[in-house]
Chains A and B, each alone.
Chain A
Amino acid sequence: MFSAARQTALRHARTSCLNATRPSFIQQLHATRLASTLAVLEQRDGKLNSSSLAAVTAGVKVGGGITGIVAGSNIKAVAEEVAKVEGVEKVIYIENAAYDKGLPEHYAPLLVENIKKGGFTHVFAGHSAFGKTLMPRVAALLDVQQISDITSIESEDTFVRPIYAGNAILTVQSSDPVKVITLRSTSFPPAASGSGNASVEEGVDPKADATSEWVGEELAKSDRPELATAERVVSGGRGLKSKEEFDKLIPPLADAIGAAIGASRAAVDSGFADNSLQVGQTGKNVAPQLYLCAGISGAIQHLAGMKDSKVIACINKNAEAPIFEVADVGLVADLFDAVPEMTEKLKK
């Protein structure tokens, strides 16, 4: 009786199911660890990167306790902010300026120490530049096979991710004791800041030696919405013919509907647009409400980055372009006429 009642309670507490028909429940409890997630959160200049809170969302899906981890200088305020996020039970912070730039040579040992100490079963981070550079190093140090860029969680050991530029969807089951995972941001909305009241405590700091040094950065400045998270994206391709035409036609249309600007690889390679704007397999993945593109043919590498958009609209003068096969609304027209006309009409 007693054991049965506990089983029911436990089932509530976690998503995976313990086999109720097996007699030795206690043994099984020892055999299967309860899920506990470490959410690796990003910060820059003391500001929490809210899209990294997708790691918390993933933790909620797995079930079990969620601990957030942040590191850097003046990090206490960031930790307090994370403590308010829905679903977070505990926040570990490491106050040390060495972690400000997220250099993997320092940061990976830091995570490994805290993962071992906390006995986490899952470690989630965004599939951002930070997560991509850091997490495989962490996985190797833990001797586990990382799972990259997942788009959904089937159970606590089974995950779904796109392969072959999104042309196939792979479901994998991990046998590793610690699941080290990066998440596709467009598939996991960031956990909301709310009335959470997590405990905040200091983590272990292994103070690994600095083998690399951060020299500087150059970030494209923009008042427009951030490409990866924008509600609307206006994107241009090779059909724009030059940087002058790109700059003349695309930004006004984007501004008319409050959209972020994107570009195809062809446009980036031809120097029409900055590399940070590239959408596709080797650039960013976006899934906005509206993806409006002009002068993009729709190569599979480009489609990989935008085909999860709610509505796709395209303007292209070649009626045979593959982009028309995926577009909800297609207009066969010369973009040099259609884009300015559309901008004018949308401004009103």
Chain B
Amino acid sequence: MSGLRILVPVKRVLDYTLKPRINKAQTGIDVAGLKHSMNPFDELSIEEAVRLRERKVPVDDILAFSAGPTKAQDVLRTAMAMGADRGLHVVEENDDIEPLSVAKILAKVVKDEDRNLVIIGKQSIDDDAGQTGQMLAGLLGWSQATQASKVEIEGETITVTKEVDGGVETVKAKLPMVITTDLRLNEPRYASLPNIMKAKKKPLVKKKMEEYGIDLTKRLKTVKVTEPPVRKGGGKVDDVDGMISKLKELGAL
């Protein structure tokens, strides 16, 4: 049996510790000059792919992919430092590509690169859409397992434990498949300095968006981006009695 040919899409996003600032024109978020990192759920995807190999599951290769501005190469290097074998970067300076378009690009990459497993984060923490993996599975007609907290592979069969409302659910499917990662799946490793150095030598192919022939016209127009209603703290009370009486006063008890 030939091994797994894994595709791991990664996205460069505003670092999760930063509070986004809305621009004055209310057209978007000011991200220039701010720290960016790999989307946390994508770190889990890379980690899982690498762990499959470490568990002696036959893995032919792990391809990390990103579509976005030149700086997206940083997250591809990180992915390679974590254990991906090579990177593919589709350069698009406008990093505001809709999930449907990303899914279409990925579907093409899957075919070009003859992939049989895609491991992708369940959502990106900037637009919080949670769509790309499912869309990709739909476009390819593949099986999908979303919000995976456990992945087991035996031969051609993958068993995935998924996080669902109120507990977990287990599904089984044959390759090829799309899996989206949930936080419980694993604990991503830190890229060690020697591995960061090695990653610089791993192949990273850059391609132009035009080569993919995907129409990036947006279906959704941003009307505005605004601040959420500000919540004002109501102050502090001195003791438990004070808290209970205040809650009664507010009608919460």
Partner among B98, B142, B166 whose Cβ is within 8 Å of the Cβ of A145 = B98
Contact A346 B243 (CB under 8 A): no
B contact residues around A174 at 8 Å (CB) = 219-221
Say if the beta carbon of B240 comes within 8 Å of chain A.
yes
Contact B174 A345 (CB under 8 A): no
How many residues on B have C-beta within 8 angstroms of the other chain's C-beta atoms?
A: 81
A contact residues around B165 at 8 Å (CB) = 128-130, 228, 276, 284
Contact B231 A211 (CB under 8 A): no
Contact B129 A148 (CB under 8 A): yes
Partner among B127, B134, B173 whose Cβ is within 8 Å of the Cβ of A211 = B173
The distance in angstroms between the C-alpha atoms of A325 and B159, with both chains bound, is 44
Interface of A is mostly: mixed
Say if the beta carbon of B194 comes within 8 Å of chain A.
no
B contact residues around A105 at 8 Å (CB) = 143-144
| Residues in B210-250 with C-beta less than 8 Å from chain A | 218-228, 231, 233-244, 246-247, 250
Chain B nearest Cβ from A96, distance in angstroms: 18
The distance in angstroms between the C-alpha atoms of A164 and B138, with both chains bound, is 26
Contact B126 A163 (CB under 8 A): yes
Contact B130 A167 (CB under 8 A): no
Partner among B100, B144, B227 whose Cβ is within 8 Å of the Cβ of A104 = B144
Contact B233 A327 (CB under 8 A): yes
B contact residues around A330 at 8 Å (CB) = 233-237
Partner among A132, A140, A211, A232 whose Cβ is within 8 Å of the Cβ of B135 = A140
The distance in angstroms between the C-alpha atoms of A101 and B145, with both chains bound, is 13
Say if the beta carbon of B163 comes within 8 Å of chain A.
yes
The distance in angstroms between the C-alpha atoms of A310 and B29, with both chains bound, is 28
The distance in angstroms between the C-alpha atoms of A257 and B146, with both chains bound, is 35
Question: Given A133-B144, A140-B138, are A148 and B16 also a contact pair (CB < 8 Å)?
Answer: no
CB nearest to A166 among chain B residues: B228
Contact A173 B243 (CB under 8 A): no
Say if the beta carbon of B184 comes within 8 Å of chain A.
yes
The size bracket of the interface on A is 35 or more
The distance in angstroms between the C-alpha atoms of A168 and B20, with both chains bound, is 8
Contact A214 B145 (CB under 8 A): no
| Residues in A300-318 with C-beta less than 8 Å from chain B | 300-301, 307, 310-313, 315
Chain B nearest Cβ from A129, distance in angstroms: 4
A contact residues around B143 at 8 Å (CB) = 105, 211-212
Chain A nearest Cβ from B225, distance in angstroms: 5
Contact A146 B128 (CB under 8 A): no
The distance in angstroms between the C-alpha atoms of A130 and B125, with both chains bound, is 20
| Residues in B121-161 with C-beta less than 8 Å from chain A | 123, 125-139, 141-147, 149, 159
CB nearest to B133 among chain A residues: A136
Give per-residue flags for A315-327: 1 if the beta carbon is below 8 A from chain B beta carbons, else 0. 1000100001111
The distance in angstroms between the C-alpha atoms of A145 and B126, with both chains bound, is 17
B contact residues around A213 at 8 Å (CB) = 171-173
Contact A137 B128 (CB under 8 A): no
9 extra interchain contacts, Cβ-Cβ under 8 A, other than A168-B22, A329-B234, A341-B240? A105-B143, A136-B130, A145-B218, A217-B168, A275-B163, A275-B168, A281-B128, A313-B243, A324-B236
B interface, CB within 8 angstroms of A = 14, 16, 19-20, 22, 29, 98-100, 103, 123, 125-139, 141-147, 149, 159, 162-174, 182-184, 218-228, 231, 233-244, 246-247, 250-253
